[in-house]
Structure 1
Amino acid sequence: MLIPGKLSEERVALVTGGARGIGLEIVRRFLADGYQVAFVATTAEHVERALDILGCPDDRVHAERIDVTRHNEVDGFVDRIRARWGEIAILVNNAGISPKRVDQNAPWLSQTSLEEWARVIDVNLTGPFILMRLLAPAMIAKGYGRIINVGSLAGRAMPIIAGPHYAASKAGLVGLTRAAARDLAPHGITVNCIAPGRVLSDLTGPPEAAVNRSALSRIPVGRFGTAEEVAHVAAFLASPMAGFITGATIDITGGEFAA
């Protein structure tokens, strides 16, 4: 059972892929909600740009360039956050890659190299596993934790825009979420997955792009999603109010997928 008096103390969050798109909006929302937020990105330029956008005091936010597939880099980053703020209570696994063809359409199975397959699985599925496995013991010791994995419509339905490696990694993330939820629920830790559909950001290109016009025709609500809408769901799942939700996948697709 959670101890209500402890909840106000659990204010340290870690967001991977937090410098752009959905990740940046989750960081922004967590900061607005009063968390101390650490985030990682793949390049120093992305980190610096995100910090400029956020304009937040150094005592509230910390960011570094980290490869989430490299265990030693992840270990060092977590150690620095613990030394600065204490244990991490909220983990958002948002980092992900989705290689496309030159025309921005999904690569076919026969066009996907083993090297590209391995890299996508490493970032999108092994990276979350590394961080969940690393942070779970401290969450168990404190009897509290929130883990949120950012999946995709491509892992829930027939992938149209994404390639086979991306679809497989995001479907795997749903399975990992359920397995971790089963293991960690007795310790006051929830593990959930968010599965966005077509959400416009600097990563997806302008709405008038051919791939986006095609996607729009499949969305029943008649518009694209926003990164802010995804961040609102993440904020709820990160809160004490979501303590009875675990092992769930929340689809944010404007009705394109419903289960």
Structure 2
Amino acid sequence: MEPIVRSNPCVALVTGGARGIGLAIVRRFLADGYYVAFVARTAKHVEQALDTLRCSKERVYGDGIDVTRQDELAGFIGRIGARWGDVAILVNNAGMSPKRMDPESPWLSQTSLEEWVRVVDVNLSGPFILTRLLAPTMIANGYGRIINVGSLAGRTMPLIAGPHYAASKAGLIGLTRAAARDLAPHGITVNCISPGRILSDLTGPSDATVNRTALNRIPVGRLGTPEEVAHVAAFLASPLAGFITGATIDITGGEFAA
């Protein structure tokens, strides 16, 4: 069977696209010929990322926007439309995972309500807001790809992450399934990628104690890379993945916590 190729360039929007997994996805999408817009929490991080992407400056556009700010996101989507047209691919990658201050005390006792709300807002409400903003246009166009970046912590008993992070990522899987059911009749797929221990700003240096310990749980014997997550995102974003929706794909090196 011949590959399905769309005649016009696709426009992608990636949240948390300035570093780590998000930046790797931006790079991969640019390599695949997409026009790529991305947001990050601070303008400084956006500028740093853009400096590394100058060779693709005509096809990349970034802004410092908090993913919980619906009006600012709507304005950014409008600017993307004016530049390139409708967003066809959404990657909800932005996330936060506060670290435990006292490793000997329970996570719950160290998690304030304010911190809980903030983590859930960024990790779960942000993807809901953007899915809700972009779904009407995707429905009108009869095509769309929505990819949520979850976590192994949302699939199993979390060994490192806090309760707010684990709960928000588990909720993201539920949102993925609900949105997939709603949007499938309109040519829109919604899937979730569930990375395990990936070398990034979020997980820290490879020689950190927590990462060395993680190696004992990973059958392939190493940590993953942001590029390996980006490869899966690229496939799910393509027209070839049209019969995959509502799925959660683990990228964990075989790790499954008890």
TM-score, with length taken from structure 2 = 0.95
- 1:214-253 CA-partner distances (Å, limit 9, x unpaired): 1111101111001000000000000000000000000000
Please tell me whether residue 159 in structure 1 is matched to residue 158 in structure 2.
yes
Structure 1 residues 30 and 103: CA distance shift in structure 2, 3 A: farther
> Which of 203-212 and 241-250 deviates more?
203-212
Deviation of the 1:210 alpha carbon: 0.7
Alignment map for 1:29-40 (pairs within 5 Å): 29-40=28-39
1:144 to 1:8, Cα distance in 2 relative to 1, 3 A: same
2:219 and 2:4 mapped to 1: Cα distance? 43
Taking structure 1 as reference, are residues 13 and 208 closer, same or farther at Cα in structure 2, changes over 3 Å only?
Answer: same
Tell me by how many angstroms 1:208 deviates.
Answer: 1.2
Maintained 8 Å contact 1:107/1:163: no
Within 5 A, what are the aligned runs for 1:1-259?
7-9=6-8, 11-102=10-101, 108-257=107-256
Deviation at 1:109, TM superposition (A): 1.0
Distance verdict in 2 for CA 1:105–1:178, change over 3 Å = farther
User: Residue 105 of structure 1: CA displacement?
Assistant: 9.2
Q: Which amino acid aligns with 1:134?
A: L
Name the SS for the 1:199 alignment partner: coil
Q: Which runs of 5+ in 2 are unaligned?
A: none
1:190–1:107 distance in 2 versus 1, CA, 3 Å: farther
5+ long unaligned stretches in structure 1: none
Aligned counterparts of 1:126 and 1:105: Cα–Cα separation in 2: 31
How many angstroms apart in 2 are the aligned matches of 1:222 and 1:228?
Answer: 17
Superimposed CA distance per residue, residues 49-80 of structure 1 (whole angstroms, 9 cap, x where no aligned partner): 11111223432000000011011111111111
Q: How many matched pairs?
A: 255
Q: What is the deviation of 1:11?
A: 0.8
Q: Pairwise CA RMSD of aligned residues? A: 1.7
* 2:40 counterpart letter in structure 1: A
Q: Which stretch shows the higher mean deviation, 51-60 or 61-70?
A: 51-60
Aligned-partner Cα distance in 2 for 1:9–1:247: 26
Residues 5 and 239, structure 2, Cα contact 8 Å, conserved in 1? no
The offset of 1:106, in angstroms, is 9.6
Distance in 2 separating the partners of 1:106 and 1:34: 48
Structure 1 contact 148–237 (Cα < 8 Å) conserved: yes
Secondary structure (helix, strand or coil) at the match of 2:90 reads: strand
Q: How much does 1:175 deviate?
A: 0.3
CA distance in 2, matches of 1:253, 1:212: 13
Give 4+ residue runs of structure 1 displaced > 6 Å after superposition. 103-107
Deviations along 1:120-157, one digit per CA (max 9) or x if unpaired, are: 00000000000000000000001000000000000001
After the TM superposition, which of the residue ranges 240-249 and 205-214 deviates more from structure 2? Answer: 205-214
Rounded Cα–Cα distance in structure 2 between residues aligned with 1:143 and 1:236 = 19
TM-score (ref. length: structure 1): 0.95
SS at match of 1:222: coil
User: What residue identity is the alignment partner of 2:189?
Assistant: T
Q: Distance in 1 between matches of 2:250 and 2:59?
A: 30
One-letter amino acid matched to 1:155: G
